[in-house]
Amino acid sequence: EVQLLESGGDLVQPGGSLRLSCAASGFTFSLYAMSWVRQAPGKGLEWVSGISGSGVNTYYADSVKGRFTISRDKSRNTLYLQMNSLRAEDTATYYCAKDRSINFFGLFDPWGQGTLVTVSS
Amino acid sequence: DIQMTQSPSSLPASVGDRVTITCRASQGITNSLAWYQQKPGKAPKLLLYAASRLETGVPSRFSGSGSGTDYILTITSLQPEDFATYYCQQHYSSPLTFGGGTKVEIK
């Protein structure tokens, strides 16, 4: 069974940094692209970033480009999201999601349970 | 960026109803359209992809159709477990974008 377990969410001040992790199990991690998708409280879904199975290709939403960095560690079966220069509008539950192929395709199944990031002073 | 517009945003319905949710893309996405279901406090779940292909294990009362810029999710004979929020998402090009969501609620 595929399992995705996010961690690292916290309360952080504006301008601060945070690193999210997503531990994957139940599938061959390096054979699938992965993404982060966020959901602000009471709002809809927003794709944040994606990475190919090899880790070579990365993709970002304009809203986070230059501030967030996605990466993956094959040896640890873990996906990361380094978030810098955090803003109040980054407050959201962050989900990691498995893609359908090794290349970034954009079909998310399944998703983790999410981790909450709150940016506030 | 491709904008995805969903309607309605809220849909009161009763068990047994047939419901339809519409999603319009700001440009053609050649059927690269997925539908997700999200229940309160839970992660979204993929229901359909490529506009009309049902994900394994999803009941056949869910179906999708459409082409070009206009797509529809249909639920025939709504069941109690179907009350949830539904999102469309284009996977035609990056950045990937979602519709604003449709909350199917009890009438």
Residue B25 has pLDDT above 90, yes or no: yes
Residue among A44, A95, A110 minimizing CB distance to B100:
A44
Amino acid code (one letter) for B44: P
Report d(CA A108, CA A29) in Å as an integer: 14
In chain A, residues with a C-beta closer than 8 Å to the C-beta of B99 are 44
Residue among A45, A61, A109 minimizing CB distance to B46:
A109
In chain A, residues with a C-beta closer than 8 Å to the C-beta of B96 are 35, 47, 50, 106
Separation in Å, CA of B44 to nearest CA in chain A: 7
Q: What is the pLDDT of residues A28-60, one digit of tens each?
A: 999 999 999 999 999 999 999 999 999 999 999
Q: What is the pLDDT of residues B38-83, one digit of tens each?
A: 999 999 999 999 999 999 999 999 999 999 999 999 999 999 999 9
The 3-class SS string of B62-86 reads EEEEEECCEEEEEECCCCHHHCCEE
CB contact under 8 A, A45 and B94: no
In chain B, residues with a C-beta closer than 8 Å to the C-beta of A47 are 89, 95-98
pLDDT at res. A104: 85
Residue among B43, B96, B97 minimizing CB distance to A113:
B43
CB atoms within 10 A of CB A63: 15
